[in-house]
Structure 1
C-alpha cells in the first residue's frame, strides 16, 4: 500500500487535534470543578443529576417556607404571651375592684387602668407579622380583623376576618397552620371550661352569687343550661333551658343560701327585690359570653358608673364575679393556643432537621454524579499534556520528511 505525504499530514493533524480536544476537556473539568461539564460527557449521570437538582430545589423551597412559617409562629407566640399577661393584669384589677373598701372614685381609677389594658389587647389583636399580614385575620390578613363599631349608644368590637387559620405547606406531605383565626383566640373557650354564672339584667334586689362550683363532674358534664330564680320570699326555683323545673337542694345558713342542682353548687347572699324574681343564669362556658372584648366592656360599664343603691352594688359584684370567671376561661384559651403554637415551632425544628439531612443526601448524590476527582483529573491533565506535546513533535518531524530535501 502506498502512503502519500498528504495522508501522513492529515493523520498527524487529526491526531494533534484529538489530543488538543482531550487536553481542553480536562482543562475545562479542572476549571469548573465538575466531571460532567456537558451532558455528552456522561449522559446517564447528567440525566440523573437534573432530577436530583430539581428535588434539591424543591427541598430548598420548603426550607424557605419553614423560615416564613417560623417567623409567623414566633410572632404569634410573642403576641399571645402579651395577651396572656394583659388578661392576668385585668383579672388582678377585678379582684382589686371587688373590695368593699373602694369608693366610686377608686373604681373609676381602676376602670381607667383597665381601659388601658383593653386598648392594648385590641392593638395586639390587630398585630401584624414581619410581612405586614395580620396574625389573627385568617386568610383575610390584609386588613385589620377587629374593628370598633358603634350602634346607638353601644360601642363594641366586631371581627371582620376569616374564621379559618391560615395554613402553609412546609414539606411535601405536611401543611401547617401558621396563623390563628381571631375567633379562636378572642371569642372562644377551651374544652372543659365549666360553667359561668351571670345575674339577670333586670334584677332589682341585692342578691349576689359566688360560684358555681362543680360537685358532681358526671352530672355537670352534660352541658345543661340553668336559671336560678329567687322570689321576694327567698324561695329558690331552678329551671333548665326548656323551662322545666329541676330538682335542687337548698340550704340556708348564716345568711348564705346554698343551692345544689345538676352537679353544681351556687351560693347566694343578700335580699331579693320586691318587684319580681331575681335570676341567675348558669350556663356552660361555651353557651354564654365567650368574647374577651365583651368581658372588658361589661367590667368597664359597671366600674365607670357609681354604685349607689343596693341593687347597683349587687350588680357590680355579680358582674365582676362573672367577668373574672370569663377572664379565667379566656386566659386558659390563650394559654392553650400558645401551647399549640409552641408545639408547631418544635415540629418545625424536627422537619428542619429531616429536611437538612435530605439536602445533604442530595448534595452528596449530586457530587458523586458530576463533581470532579481532582487527583485523578490532575494526573489525566499531565498525561494529556504529554500526549499533546508528543503529537506536536511528531507533526513537526513529519514536515521535514520529504525527498525534495535530499535532491
Structure 2
C-alpha cells in the first residue's frame, strides 16, 4: 500500500495540533492555578465547585449582616449606657430632694437640675444612627421616637411615643434572625416583669397621709401579684379592694396613724391623717401601663412637684409621696434599661460566636473548593514538561518527514 504525500502531511499536522492542544491546556492550568479551567475539563467537579462557591457567597453575606447587626447593637448599647447614667443622676437628685430641711428655692434648684436629666433622656430617646435613622422608633425610621406636647400650665412638656412596636431583625446565620433594635416604649416606658410593687397616692388627695413601702412579706400569700386600691373614709376607716379573686376585699378597717398594714403578702406603713376620699394604688411594676411606667412622666411629675410651694402639711405629704413613688419607679426603670442592655450584650456575644462558626465554615468551604478545582503544581509541571517534549518531537518528526524524497538518493 502506498502512502501519499498529502496523507503524511495531514497526519503530521494532526499530531502537532494534538500535542499543541495538550501543551496549551497544561499551560493554562499553571497560569490560572486551576485544574478545572473550563467546565468541560471536569463537568462533575466543576458543578460541585459552583455549589460550594454559592455557599461561600451566602456565608460572606451573613458575615456582612453580622457586621451591620453588631454596629446597630453597639450604638444601642452605648445609648443605653448613657440612659443608665442619666437615670442614676435623676435618682440621686430625687433622694436629695427628700431632705425635709430644703426650702422652696432649694427644691427649685433641684428641679432645674432634674430637668437637665429629663432633657438628656429625651435626646437619647431620639438618637439617630449615621444614616439619620431613629434607633428607637421601631419600623418608623424617619419619625422621631418621642414627641413633646406643651401642657399649657407651665409644667414640663408631656412626652409620648410616636414609633411603632416593630423590632428590626437581621438574618445573621442560616437559621438565625436576630433583633437588632428595641422599641422606645420597651426601653423608656416599661418595667421588667419581675419589678417590685409600686404605690402611688391619688392625684386628688388632700390629706397629710404619707406612705413608705410597700415591702414584700409573703410572696405565697393569697392575692400576691394582684393590684390593690386603698380608699380612706371620713369616719377613720379604709377599704382595700383587689383586682383579682384570690384576695378577700376588706372594708371599714380602722385606721391608726403610724401603723403598718398588710394585704396580699405586702406591707405598707402609713403616717399622717388621710382625708375622706384619699386613695392609694399598689400595683406590681410589671403590670403598669406605658403611661404609669413612662420614665419621662416619672421625672416630669417629680419636677412639677418640686416647683410647687410647700405651705401646709398636705403640700408636704403630696411632695413626699411623689418622691417616694418616683424613687421606686426610677429603680424599676433602671432595672428595665439594664435588662435591655444585658440582652443587647448577649446578642453581641452571640454574634461573636457566630463569627467564629462562620470563619470555620469559610475555611471548610475554601478547602472543599480547592480540592475540587485547584491545581497540583507538581503533577502539572511534570505534564507540562512532558507535553513540551511531545510537541517538540512531533515538530521534529514532521520536519524530518518533509525532507524525505527518492530524488535525494538519485545521482
What TM bracket, shorter-length normalisation? Answer: over 0.9
Greater Cα offset, 226-235 or 352-361: 226-235
Equivalences for residues 148-187 of structure 1 within 5 A = 148-150=148-150, 152-153=152-153, 155-187=157-189
Report how far residue 133 of structure 1 moved: 2.4
Inter-CA distance 110–85: structure 2 relative to 1 (3 Å threshold): same
| Corresponding residue of 1:104 | 104
Whole-angstrom distance in 1 between the partners of 2:244 and 2:20: 99
Given the two structures, how large is their TM-score scaled by the length of structure 2? 0.92
Asked if residue 327 in structure 1 is aligned to residue 310 in structure 2, the reply is no
| Corresponding residue of 1:356 | 359
Report how far residue 157 of structure 1 moved: 1.2
Inter-CA distance 172–221: structure 2 relative to 1 (3 Å threshold): farther
Whole-angstrom distance in 1 between the partners of 2:209 and 2:203: 12
Report how far residue 247 of structure 1 moved: 6.8
CA contact (8 A) 2:239 2:253 kept: no
| Corresponding residue of 2:350 | 347
CA contact (8 A) 1:29 1:37 kept: yes
CA contact (8 A) 2:201 2:281 kept: yes
Greater Cα offset, 9-18 or 239-248: 239-248
Equivalences for residues 78-89 of structure 1 within 5 A = 78-89=78-89
| Corresponding residue of 1:129 | 129
**SS of the residue aligned with 1:80?**
helix
| Corresponding residue of 1:318 | 321
Which ranges in structure 1 are unaligned for 5 or more consecutive residues? none
Whole-angstrom distance in 1 between the partners of 2:273 and 2:389: 114
Aligned-residue RMSD, C-alpha: 2.1
Equivalences for residues 147-226 of structure 1 within 5 A = 147-150=147-150, 152-153=152-153, 155-219=157-221, 222-226=224-228
Report how far residue 128 of structure 1 moved: 2.5
CA contact (8 A) 2:236 2:255 kept: no
Which ranges in structure 2 are unaligned for 5 or more consecutive residues? none
Inter-CA distance 256–181: structure 2 relative to 1 (3 Å threshold): same
Asked if residue 62 in structure 1 is aligned to residue 48 in structure 2, the reply is no
Report how far residue 122 of structure 1 moved: 1.2
Given the two structures, how large is their TM-score scaled by the length of structure 1? 0.93
Whole-angstrom distance in 2 between the partners of 1:179 and 1:28: 51
| Corresponding residue of 1:3 | 3
**SS of the residue aligned with 2:268?**
strand
Whole-angstrom distance in 2 between the partners of 1:300 and 1:388: 95
| Corresponding residue of 1:240 | 242
Whole-angstrom distance in 2 between the partners of 1:165 and 1:246: 44
**SS of the residue aligned with 1:161?**
coil
Report how far residue 251 of structure 1 moved: 8.0
Whole-angstrom distance in 2 between the partners of 1:364 and 1:357: 11
| Corresponding residue of 2:258 | 256
Report how far residue 266 of structure 1 moved: 0.9
Which deviations, in whole Å up to 9, do the C-alpha atoms of 1:289-308 show, x marking residues without a partner? 11111111111111122222
